[in-house]
Amino acid sequence: MNEKVKTWLIKAFEDYIAMRMLFQSEEKEFVTSVVCFHAQQFVEKLLKAFLIHHNVPFPKTHILEVLKQKCLEIDDTFQNLDFKNLSQYAVEIRYPDEFYLPTTEEADECLKLAENVKNFILSKLNTTQEEILKWLKEAEEK
């Protein structure tokens, strides 16, 4: 696998780890927006890693459906991926202008969606979570 794809997967897994740690914390009901944000970021980076792996250019966007459409040009099984409203957690949720705190149920749904996308894309890239975590550890040691 090329280094650029590895780097995108490493960055994606930073979001994945943060999302899981926050959702497992005793104070998870206070950080649901951050959990949802990291879930969105994780999925976005996984999709971009897949596109980079296939040398497909993509626009600078946080809208997952736009990235999914690019992935569909390569592999029609991406049609099975459902992000629901995960894109809504990309930008607006980070700022107080449109204050909204997702419920723990919504955060749990984001986590499950992210897990499904992770399993799907890692199988497409012929890699595993363990392998990516190994790369992350190696990058940390540099």
Q: What is the pLDDT of residue 102?
A: 86
Work out the mean pLDDT of the chain and round it to a whole number. Answer: 91
Q: What is the pLDDT of residue 85?
A: 80
Residue-wise pLDDT tens digits, 82-99: 887 888 887 666 666 666
Q: What is the pLDDT of residue 48?
A: 98
The first and second tokens of residue 133, run together, are 């975590």
Residue 10: which residues within 8 A CB-CB, separation 6 or more?
132, 135, 136, 139
Q: What is the pLDDT of residue 82?
A: 87
Q: What does the alpha-carbon distance between residue 107 and residue 103 come to, in Å, rounded to a whole number? A: 6
Residues of the chain with pLDDT under 50: none
**CATH number of this structure's domain 3-141, picked from the four choices 3.90.1150.10, 1.10.357.10, 1.20.120.330, 3.40.140.10:** 1.20.120.330
pTM: 0.93
Q: What is the pLDDT of residue 101?
A: 81
The first and second tokens of residue 106, run together, are 């919504």
Q: What does the alpha-carbon distance between residue 47 and residue 61 come to, in Å, rounded to a whole number? A: 11
Q: What is the pLDDT of residue 92?
A: 67
The first and second tokens of residue 24, run together, are 């497992």
Residue for token pair 């996984």: 46
Q: What is the pLDDT of residue 84?
A: 75
